[in-house]
Structure 1
Amino acid sequence: MATKRLPALPELLKRKIYKTGQTRGASQNEIYQNRVSRNSTVLIPYQWWEKCKEPYPGAEYENGFIVLIDPDWYSDHPHADKTLAAKGIVLGVNAVLHFQQRAQWDRYDLRLGDLLPNGMPFTEPTQRISPIGGTVLARIHGTTAEGDKRSQIRVGFNETNLRGAGIRVYEYASTENLEKTRLQLESYYWLAEESLEMAIDWGMSPKDARKRRDETLQHAHEAGLLEYQRLQAVRIVDEHNVTICPFCLERISASTFYERSEQAVGRETWDLTTTEISLFHIEELRVGALQHRPYNLGWGHHHCNIVVKDAGIDHTLSWVEVLLKRNIASGWRSQTSKSVPVDISTDDEASEQLDSIPLNENDAN
């Protein structure tokens, strides 16, 4: 699916598109891998097994999976191994006991190398692909209370060459979807305002920039990835097929793909790497629904992405509407506009007042 033998994109843009196929960051205190490909080994909490056992109907995870078993459930369930085996889950083969609380660890009272009640060794895994070779994964914070100061516990996938057990299951995407979404996302860049000019400003020759733009858009069209009515419906482009932020619906200038995010005065950091534009999931990531797929990714303002977070666009817009109504009803007056206090007492009146307020000066004219 990837374009071949095309002139290279500006390095910053190339890296930005490539990184959309990677997972979010993770610290050493977490069980997840840090910024790896979205087709890596996935971690599936046992309570989500039925919804997540297949990435797509009839498909398998390309690099396997590890099921995370709650130690309390395993200890309290009289036929735990039999129940798991009926579902194709075997401790030490494709599943581990995942310890998160010190009380759980203390309850088992085992040392590495001891045997579990079923005779299996209490050991840390040696690889991510089945058979993983171990039965325990633990990340437990240290205690600081007076009289009970104990160090943190880290067991399993904690070595330099085996850091992190896998990725969050809802971040997974197949190789095919990674290729398609990267092609789509590059197409959205070329549909943004001033895309050609900015590519030239950042190092491409006019000839190369036009060639890359035209062939990328043609390739995306042939692959069925540029159905404009569908893109408009999911808030990725406007009615003129120009790229917009899925949350605020403002047109995106290609210059913002290269600009570092604005920082608060007096709180700047020299190593800031985020840009004004970032990857935006139209339907939010959530367990049981793989959302890193074609027609669900766009480019949005970094600030808008922070506002939406994991709540999703629809929920966040409803929340914002409630906030506006509440502020208007209270007589709020913007310090940066010519608006005047209002005196309205019901939600219906607040809604009418809200509907009558122009979004900006252009809308007012």
Structure 2
Amino acid sequence: MVTLCNDPNCNLLANHKGKHQFVYKKAWKDHFTAEDINKIEKAGYCTPRGGAKGGYQNHVNRNSKVIIPYEKLSEVNLDNYKDGYVIRLFPSQYFVKKHTVNEEFINNSSVVVGENAFVLYRTYEDFENYPPLPAWQIRSILKYDKGKKEYCIPSKDRGGNMIDRGHYLLRISNSGTNKKQNKFEGPAQGIFAPEYADSDTNFLCQAVLAWLIIKTEGSPYNESDFEHLEAILKKHNLLDSPHFENDYILHNGKTTCPLCQKVILHSELNEMISFDDEEGLENSTDQVGSTRSTKVNLFHMVPLCYSSLENIPTQVSWGHATCNTRLGQRRCYSFNDLQSTEIEIEIVKGQEKRLLGYANATQNFIRSTNGDVWIRIAKGNE
């Protein structure tokens, strides 16, 4: 029996030496294969959905500085971002005309370009119509110089003791209709905000995912080797949480895909995807080389968004890449979730009525008693 430190913010063994430590990945790394260790590490990274053209960092830890688009500012709780944030403005938002700042940003201490905000130029048209102010500088990263006791060492790396300086970023591509050069200046400013999780939350998500790897069909691991991981999950009320079975993250103790509810094989975690026998996706086989996706990937029960942080331990699982594609930016509902809505969907054939299943409140997700799923892919007129 493994006993952990009494400190609520420490996941080391009881009577450990040295400082307390919340993040302790050796709980699974000591026994996992290199492939599975890498699988868990990638789950703790941001995906490249933001793109370099938006000034986003990709494939870095979720506990990183985030970019908040100005138009999303009213949706977010800035206190959520413990690792900092920066507000992104487009030139047409910040300026009303050449060198004339929009009134809402004058004497506005909540959005200050050069301090907690930057302007992103993506087209030559914007660069010419709303050029940077004469005193502005391109964004840069400065590291701390211990000798000089100031931030003065230029860097492309956001790690360590550093600050951001400057006012604007250039991500201007040649459209192909002119002979102008691409302008790509200034370092990436942060991650896609919906992907954010603080360090402790990110660790617990990875711990859950590690446990679910152990629970896959054909897993090469012995659960008795992971007592420390089990103790961590138990300490944070995650080991015996009923949501695993209720949401079909586990079924009868085996890891399952929450959408199709099929048991996940350990071999699928690192095998490349195939679209064979995938209803509705047969014509996607030519994408295999370009997607380079494994059969099973990180699966979010609730879609990531700006208004709340959804990359949390009770909402992460493993799911099929094809199921992820089908689900898109929708919540994954279990049959119990839908049955509780009491919204019944029936098939009527003449005088005969048959219960098809149950729908969610917005009626864009239906699940039948046998696990079949229908998802609305387009919304018609009211």
Mark yes or no: TM-score above 0.5: yes
1:194-232 superposed Cα distances (whole Å, 9 cap, x missing partner): 32xx24xxxxxxxxx444334422331232112331222
- Note the alpha carbon deviations across 1:337-356, whole angstroms, 9 max, x for none: xxxxxx9589977948x999
Q: Displacement, 1:3?
A: 4.9
Question: 2:218 maps to what in 1?
Answer: 194
Contact 2:274 2:288 in 1 (8 A): no
Is the 1:124–1:155 Cα contact (8 Å) retained in structure 2?
Answer: yes
How far apart, CA to CA, are the structure 2 residues paired with 1:345 and 1:35?
A: 55
Question: Which residue of structure 2 aligns with residue 124 of structure 1?
Answer: 138
TM-score by length of 1: 0.70
Aligned to 1:68: 88
Matched with 1:231 is 244
Distance 2:314 2:121 in 1: 38
SS at match of 1:96: strand
Q: Which amino acid aligns with 1:122?
A: W
Residue type at the aligned position of 1:107 = N
Please tell me the residue identity of whatever aligns with 1:65: Y
Structure that is richer in helix per residue: 1
Query: Could you tell me which of 152, 177, 185 is aligned with 2:182?
Result: 152
**C-alpha spacing 1:23/1:254, structure 2 compared with 1 (3 Å):** same
Contact 2:261–2:371 under 8 Å retained in 1: no
Take 1:355 and 1:123, find their aligned partners in 2: how far apart are those partners?
55
Are residues 1:305 and 2:305 paired? Answer: no
Preserved contact between residue 42 and residue 168 of structure 1 (Cα < 8 Å): yes
Identity of aligned pairs, percent? 21
Matched ranges for 1:177-188 at <5 A: 177-188=201-212
Aligned to 2:306: 287
Counterpart-to-counterpart distance in 2, 1:253 and 1:24: 24
Offset of 1:263 from its aligned partner?
Answer: 5.9
State the partner residue of 2:189: 165
Alpha-carbon distance in 2 for matches of 1:182, 1:248: 23
Question: How many Å separate the matches in 2 of 1:96 and 1:271?
Answer: 33
Alignment CA distance shift 1:261-1:143 (3 Å)? closer
8 Å CA contact 1:260–1:272 kept in 2: the answer is no
Q: Is the 8 A contact 1:190 1:213 kept in 2?
A: no
Give the CA deviation at 1:24.
0.6
Q: TM-score under structure 2 normalisation?
A: 0.68
Amino acid at match of 1:71: P
Cα separation, 1, equivalents of 2:368 and 2:330: 27
In the other structure, the counterpart of 1:250 is: 262
Q: How many residues align?
A: 302
| Cα 1:15–1:345 shift into 2, 3 Å | farther
- Determine the structure 2 residue equivalent to 1:107: 129
**Conserved 8 A contact 2:214-2:223:** no
Residue type at the aligned position of 1:82: N
The letter for the 1-side match of 2:93 is: W
Tell me how far 1:144 sits from its aligned partner.
Answer: 2.7
Deviation of the 1:282 alpha carbon: 0.4
Report deviation, 1:272. Answer: 7.7
Question: Which secondary structure state, in structure 1, belongs to the residue aligned with residue 313 of structure 2?
Answer: coil
CA contact (8 A) 1:193 1:243 kept: yes
